[in-house]
Amino acid sequence: MQLEQLPYTEEQIKQAIEEAWQELLQEADAEDYSLEEYLEHYRKYWDDPDFPNDIPEIIMRAVEEIVGRPLSWYCELVRDPAGFTGEYSFVVVDPKTQKCLTYREYTSDGVNVHRFIHVAGTVVDYEGIVRLVTKLLNQIQSALADA
Partner 1 sequence: MDREKVLQALREAQAEYNIENLDEFTKQAWEEGNILDAEIVAELTERAVEILFDQHFLWVHIIESEDCEEWIPDGWYSFVAVHPKTHQCLTVLEDPVYSWESRASFSARIRSAEDAIDAVTRLAELIEQNLKGRAVE
Binding site for partner 1 (CB under 8 A): 47-49, 69-74, 76-77, 79, 81, 83-84, 89, 91, 93, 95-100, 103, 115-118, 143
Cross-strand pairs, 119? 90
Question: How far apart, in whole angstroms, are the C-alpha atoms of residue 137 and residue 147?
Answer: 15
Are 135 and 18 within 8 A, CB to CB? no
Nearest approach, Cβ of residue 49 and partner 1 (Å):
4
Nearer to partner 1, 109 or 146 (CB): 146
In 3D, which of 42, 68, 44, 66 has the Cα closest to residue 55? 42
Q: In what order do the strands lie in the sheet with 83-93?
A: 72-80, 83-93, 119-122
**Smallest distance, Å, CB 141 to partner 1?**
15
Cβ-based nearer residue to partner 1, 120 or 130: 120
The least distance separating partner 1 from the CB of residue 10, rounded to whole angstroms, comes to: 26
Which residue, 38 or 90, is less far from partner 1 as judged by CB?
Answer: 90
Q: For residues 100 and 130, which CB has a smaller minimum distance to partner 1 in the complex?
A: 100
As measured in angstroms, the least distance from the Cβ of 9 to partner 1 is 25
Q: Is 123 exposed, middle or buried (0-12, 13-18, 19+ CB in 10 A)?
A: buried
